[in-house]
Structure 1
Amino acid sequence: MELDTLVREYLLLGLRFDRLEEGFVDAYTGDPALRRQVDNEPRPDPRTLVGSARALRAELPSAGLTDERTRFLDAHLTALECSARKFAADDIGFVDEVAAYFDVRIAPGDEERYRDAHRRMDAVLPGPGTLAERMEANRAADRIPPDRLQDCVEAFNSALRDRVRAEYALPEHEQVDYEVVGDKPWSGFNYYLGGYRSTVAINSDLDQHMSNLPRLIAHESYPGHHTEHCRKEAGLVGAGQLEQTLFVVNTPQCLMAEGLADLALESIVGAGWGTWAQEIYADLGLRFDGERAEELAAASSGLLSVRQDAALLLHDRGASADDVAAFLQRWTLSSPERARQSLRFLSSPLWRAYISTYVEGYRLLGGWLAQAPVGPERSERFRRLLDEPLTPGALRDDTPGALRDDVVSADGAASMLGRGRP
């Protein structure tokens, strides 16, 4: 099969999944004629999609692609084949499902590590009452007044955009717009529209907190999802790699993107982000203890795997929804309402495996970045994540030794309420 034909068939295959479940295609910026073709077709048979994915994988070795592009497409066709089998009601174990989607093998975390995280958090938040009560009081004090949210979003968007544009070139007319929405299983979502434009939706059903907003803006926009989309559109798509015009759910792309985005704030601001944020809030007339927020984030990093454990309990071990909610409430020290919001995300047919993109993406990409010292070498590694069609397997091949939870810092666990954009 000719290279152009194979890539075209890959794009048509991915677009057809959106006919099975709307939202499966996260972003598509390619030839609109392909989208129209799929929209005018009958609803696809999942079994046909299984066969198409397998046939395209078999054609890869003879298509004349570079090794990098071949590896990318092979991993993504593997993921799409698994999705098609799930739509066809095949019985696939949850761990195998995650492995096929994201090119990682998952396992339960260590509850002793969670207990240690609680001890560290207790030291950061001393005082009367249980740790859960003190955490709830801290969240209440950290809440952004709804009438100030827009000002805060604009301030951090501007500050982060300036930093990113100084470090990584962006198209002059790139733009991010923000909107407030409700009734969603996530706290934030980037809709990349193509042409270097994004709309970022922020969920009004969840309180927004001063300690998390800088991370949310970095994750969704600068230097996270929006920045990555812009640079890949200008670079890879501009160079003819049209497979990069398609971004679909439950593929290795997602793990790479979420890992990058969850590391975005520490990559562009680094240690001291709390004090940096405190100064921005002070200019807005808001009080924020940045040093304590940064300490609490570091203490809670040991909770990174909790929500993946909850997914394993729910989908691999058959635990009840009530038991999973109780598990989340216990270890994340969250309210019953917040635990149920997390459970809603984990229970979604489309998003049920997605929590692993944050846990394993943050761990894998964090370990890979940490091989380079802070400074120009680390920045160059982050640039590669923004610009190159890397896969989890490629990073593992370039990461000697086992990865540990402690290669990640910040509040990855605290930020994972939903589709990467918690």
Structure 2
Amino acid sequence: MKNTSPLCLLLCFLLACTPQEQPLTIDNIAESYVKLMLEIGQYDSDFIDAYYGPEEWKPTAKKDTFPSGDFIERANNLISQIQSVEGDKDRKFVLVKQLIAARTKVEIINGKVYPFDEEAKLLYDAKPPSYPESYFDSLLLDLENALPGEGSLADRYNEFVDQFIIPKENLDTVFQTAIAEARKRTMARYDLPENENFVLEYVTDKSWSGYNYYQGNSQSLIQINTDLPIKISRAIDLACHEGYPGHHVFNALLEQNLVNNKGWKEYSVYPLFSPQSLIAEGSANYGIDVAFPGEERVQYEKEVLFPLAGLDASQADKYYEIQGLIGKLSYAGNEAARMYLNGEISREEAARWMEKYQLNEPERALQRTRFFDQYRSYVINYNLGKDLVANYIEAQGGTADQPEKRWEVFKELLSNPNTASTIK
């Protein structure tokens, strides 16, 4: 046996004791991504919508000034790293889109102002459509015909729909019943974790009408804003959108299928201003039609929710005819946001636009401008998101006359990484 010199032995010992650099993988890039998102979230309370990953990944210190340059450099480095490693193609694609959005939001927090359409594309991976004022004028004519009478169209509309306000003393009963029914319909088709649940709260002084704060481990906190009167149609809307098969189910399925089953830790954090939100909001709105298709909804509301609310159901069909026409005007809100955020009109002008083209009462229109201030181009995720999701589901065979197929394709969409680009 050959003698080994003391120097060689020392070198071998030092090499053995020196920590070896980990090979770069998509999984450790995902960990770096999560930590970056959590650090950015320290400087903007709206940035992180949910986190249910390892406690030790949370940042323990915050700099006195916003380190935008460091955040942007780290995002760019992660994008380059993702493109250099092996891994699931869709997983890598979505992660890059999420990082582009995070980088953009850092720039916005730091004072950069993007035009509305460019901001929406960078944050949500979608180009919002634009409609001329004449388009909305033509839609108002349909409402004029549906609501004949004296006075302005807005006055006639609000006088009609005020008959369908849920009395405050009946609000909780109506909402709990609507959520229970939405849950029953969803659970009949999806196997969610046995422990899944939610807590329902009523809040005030918010810019939104409802919100789901996903807590992890298949638990949600659902909040309903009671600042303004709530119409009967909002019970099913919010039950499905915030709960079943909307946000609560979406987050539970992502956690179950991607985080727990596949170990994709990037889905343990949900940055709100990201492409994930277009899928989240679009699917939550489309989920209303999945759970309560067509006449089924109206029939259920007439038989169950109207009596619980103490409302006369004799005009329910007319009410939903009008609501259908109002729904066609949803993109008018996007136009108001675009003009307002681009500095083309004032807050008051934006509110008046929505009073005219969405028939909002003045107080509700002003509440909407608060939403524009807080969430900016996020507004596209509700209507454009729903349209993109609907087109995708129907292209996969999930049409209204194939309800079981629709539930199946919808679940597949909710359970996998997607952005607007991947569902076109």
TM-score above 0.5: yes
CA contact (8 A) 1:102 1:251 kept: yes
TM superposition score normalised by structure 1: 0.89
Pairwise CA distance, 1:196? 0.8
State the SS of the aligned residue for 1:167.
coil
- Residue 350 of structure 2 is aligned with which of 307, 324, 327? 324
Q: Tell me what 2:123 maps to.
A: 101
**Structure 1 segment 199-278 matched on structure 2, within 5 A:** 199-238=221-260, 239-272=262-295, 273-278=297-302
Q: Aligned equivalents of 2:33 and 2:257: distance in 1?
A: 20
Q: Tell me what 1:287 maps to.
A: 312
Q: Which moved more, 1:156-165 or 1:230-239?
A: 230-239
Q: Aligned equivalents of 2:279 and 2:32: distance in 1?
A: 23
Name stretches of at least 5 consecutive residues in structure 2 with no aligned partner. Answer: 1-23
Deviations along 1:267-309, whole A, 9 cap, x unmatched?
1111111222111124524333432232122212321211110
- For 1:185, give the aligned amino acid: S
- For 1:274, give the aligned amino acid: V
- Residue 411 of structure 2 is aligned with which of 364, 372, 383? 383
CA contact (8 A) 1:307 1:328 kept: yes
- Residue 380 of structure 2 is aligned with which of 356, 364, 384? 356
**Structure 1 segment 381-420 matched on structure 2, within 5 A:** 381-396=409-424
Pairwise CA distance, 1:331? 0.6
- Residue 11 of structure 1 is aligned with which of 23, 34, 38? 34
Q: Aligned equivalents of 2:328 and 2:189: distance in 1?
A: 30
Q: Aligned equivalents of 1:221 and 1:290: distance in 2?
A: 24
Pairwise CA distance, 1:94? 2.6
Root-mean-square deviation (CA, aligned residues, Å) is 1.6
Q: Aligned equivalents of 2:337 and 2:242: distance in 1?
A: 24
Q: Tell me what 1:419 maps to.
A: none
Q: Tell me what 1:404 maps to.
A: none
Q: Tell me what 2:19 maps to.
A: none
Rg comparison, structure with higher value: 2
Q: Tell me what 2:76 maps to.
A: 54
- For 1:394, give the aligned amino acid: T
Matched, 1:365 2:365: no
- For 1:296, give the aligned amino acid: I
Name stretches of at least 5 consecutive residues in structure 1 with no aligned partner. Answer: 397-422
- Residue 40 of structure 1 is aligned with which of 61, 80, 83? 61
Pairwise CA distance, 1:227? 0.8
Pairwise CA distance, 1:41? 4.1
CA contact (8 A) 1:189 1:201 kept: yes
Q: Which moved more, 1:121-130 or 1:151-160?
A: 121-130
CA contact (8 A) 1:28 1:246 kept: yes
- For 1:391, give the aligned amino acid: T
Pairwise CA distance, 1:317? 4.4
State the SS of the aligned residue for 1:39.
coil
Q: Aligned equivalents of 2:257 and 2:76: distance in 1?
A: 29
Q: Tell me what 2:21 maps to.
A: none
